[in-house]
Structure 1
Amino acid sequence: MNEMIPGVGEPVVTDATKGGGSNAARIAEVKAWLAAQFDAAGKEVPDFEYTPRSIVHLYNLATVSQAKTQAANIVANDFRQKAAEYRSQAARIREILENVGLAQESLPSNVVASAQVLANVANLLNIRDTELSRWEEKQNGSSFLVAMGDISLRKTGVDEKRAKVHKESKTLLEYTRKAIARLTYLKRTLAQLEDDVAPCDAQMENWKTNLGVMASKERQYTQQYNNYKALLNRVGYTPEINHGVLVEMAEHRKDLEKKTKPILDTLRSYQDLPPDKALAALAIEDKKRQYAAAEKYLEDVLQSALATSD
């Protein structure tokens, strides 16, 4: 078969687009086309069911195949006609050359080789002759020289593009080398960081544990501070009672204890005497006066100490 699948943009025949012709005519045309294609391939048409869908598809294939076959026949006929013209022209030129004694058999081998090289170059340059019309000859010279100049210009352009591409490739190669070096450095850094992950995680867990302990201690110390502050407020502590004042009061207390100790010893000695109510009352009153004087002295010392600290 010349064509099995319709190309893009090819006309497709359907029941809506194909107005003329019945289904029987289409089936007959499809059968004839299939028989012709399989006969050309040396095979028989296989048996299958002719459904409306398959008939439409095969009819479209047949239409496209016939159209392309017709176009190929036209091109082939044109090529055959041109080949016949070229053979006729070659025979005429060969006759002319033989008449003037320039037949290929009578020419030296080097001339034949040069002519063959010239023909190959002409085919490569896609030129048909070595001269242009009179006006073109005045403007550009022979078509061979024009073609050679054109190909020289193309070669120059290709060389320039090649140099540009080479320069760009060198730049890209340099960028690639730098990128590879940077990638290698990043991979090495990544590997080092991955190795440091485990120790850092362990250290972070340790810090986290210590932070929890410190937070717990902070709450404990804060509670103790609040408790001590409430206790100081309850006993009447003020900022004026500092360490120096307390030390001074302790020293005065020691002095008072030294002064009151003989009195207490005397009172204890009185306990061993026989009871005498009148003398005991006098002694008690005397000791009360002494004790009151000592308390007044202690209060005066405290007041003076507080005044000095202010």
Structure 2
Amino acid sequence: MSSSSDIIAGGGAADSPANESKSGFDANRIGEVKSWLVSQFDAAGKDVPDFEYTPRSISYLHNIATVSQAKTQAAAIVANDFRQKAAEYRSQAARIREILENVGLAQESLPSNVVASAQVLSNVADLLNIRDTELSSFLVAMGDVSLRKTGVEEKRAKVQKESKALLDYTRKAIARLTYLKRTLAQLEDDVAPCEAQIENWKTNLTIMQSKERQYLQQYSNYKAMLSRVGYTPEISHGVLVEMAEHRKELERTTKPILDTLRSYQDLPPDKALAALAIEDKKRQYAAAEKYFEDVLQSALATTD
């Protein structure tokens, strides 16, 4: 255990004036703390326990001692004031009793009902917190009580209104909570089917993605194939249909010529006439081909 002299003498720089002042200050604090502890434990009939005096413990104990001493002084002042007031009240009571006895109004000589009424009057005065029993004081006190009663009733009405509103809010909150619980239970029941549906959708999505890649590859292959065969966007379905219609028209136009040529096969061979007929048919066939090319070029130009 370290004593106060050890704490005061502690430190290697105790020769300086600042350290001497600090050491003296600590010594004063330690002395005050020790004297306060001795007084407190002596009042309780016990000895002061041994403990280590450190700067931190001395600081805490000094603060506690300061507060305790201040409160003790304040309590002593209040107690002395109460004792002085009690002595004054006893003196006044004795003087009033002497006056009442001189006029024949001592408590022992009064009827019991008068004493009871006076006691009731005194109790009412104490209840109303008035210093005398004058009628005006009672009226003022009763007016004050009435005002306070009115204020309390107003506050009570306000609190009841607020309580009713809170009760309504609570009922609504309970109803909403019940609805939310029911909804939560329903959602929890729907979790398993929804998860199964989601897994099904994931499977279908995987299949769709595979099909998409397959179709994209087929589209790329078809596009390359069309590019190899010379397909261009100008050769559309409408152009092909129009060309087919012109082909049918040409076939219809050339059919009589072919029939005529076939009929010539049944005639006796005449080389000169046959050569002339063949030349005439060649010219007609060349004219038909030229007409077909003109129609095709016209259709392609119109598409552009």
The TM-score bracket by the shorter chain reads: 0.5 to 0.7
Answer yes or no: is 1:296 the counterpart of 2:286. Answer: yes
Q: Which residue of 2 aligns with 1:86?
A: 89
CA distance in 2, matches of 1:175, 1:303: 90
Q: Which residue of 2 aligns with 1:172?
A: 166
Q: Which residue of 2 aligns with 1:136?
A: none
Tell me, yes or no, if the aligned pair for 1:240 and 1:306 is still in contact at 8 Å: no
Give the deviation of 1:191 after TM superposition: 4.5
Greater fraction helix? 2
CA distance in 2, matches of 1:19, 1:98: 70
Q: Which residue of 1 aligns with 2:119?
A: 116
Q: Which residue of 2 aligns with 1:5?
A: none
Give the deviation of 1:85 after TM superposition: 1.6
Query: Which residue, 199, 205, 228 being the options, matches 2:202?
Result: 205
Answer yes or no: is 1:241 the counterpart of 2:239. Answer: yes
CA distance in 1, matches of 2:80, 2:261: 158
Give the alignment's Cα RMSD to 1 decimal.
4.8
Give the deviation of 1:114 after TM superposition: 3.5
Answer yes or no: is 1:157 the counterpart of 2:151. Answer: yes
Structure 1: gaps of 5 or more residues: 1-14, 132-140, 268-278
Counterparts in 2 of 1:128-147, with a 5 A limit? 128-131=131-134, 142-147=136-141
Structure scoring higher RCO (CA < 8 A, sep ≥ 6) equals: 1
- Superposed CA offset, 1:135-187 (max 9, x none): xxxxxx61121011101111001101211221122223223333333344344
- Superposed CA offset, 1:29-86 (max 9, x none): 4333222211111211112234455445434433332232222111111111111222
CA distance in 2, matches of 1:41, 1:161: 50
Counterparts in 2 of 1:101-112, with a 5 A limit? 101-112=104-115
CA distance in 2, matches of 1:236, 1:24: 114
Name the SS of the counterpart of 1:49 in structure 2: coil
Q: Which residue of 2 aligns with 1:125?
A: 128
Deviates more, 1:186-195 or 1:37-46: 186-195
Structure 2: gaps of 5 or more residues: 1-17
The AA in structure 1 aligned to 2:173 is: A
Give the deviation of 1:293 after TM superposition: 5.6
CA distance in 1, matches of 2:23, 2:219: 105
Q: Which residue of 1 aligns with 2:3?
A: none
State percent identity of aligned pairs: 56
- Superposed CA offset, 1:251-293 (max 9, x none): 85599799869989x99xxxxxxxxxxx9x99x9799758846
CA distance in 2, matches of 1:66, 1:25: 16
Query: Which residue, 66, 72, 78 being the options, matches 1:69?
Result: 72
The AA in structure 2 aligned to 1:119 is: S
Give the deviation of 1:214 after TM superposition: 6.5
CA distance in 2, matches of 1:118, 1:48: 61
The alignment covers a number of residue pairs equal to 276
The AA in structure 2 aligned to 1:299 is: E
The AA in structure 2 aligned to 1:73 is: A
Deviates more, 1:160-169 or 1:246-255: 246-255
Give the deviation of 1:302 after TM superposition: 3.1
Name the SS of the counterpart of 2:131 in structure 1: coil
Instruction: Report the CA distance shift for 1:184/1:143 in structure 2 as closer, same or farther (over 3 A).
Output: same
Using the size of structure 1 for normalisation, the TM-score is 0.64
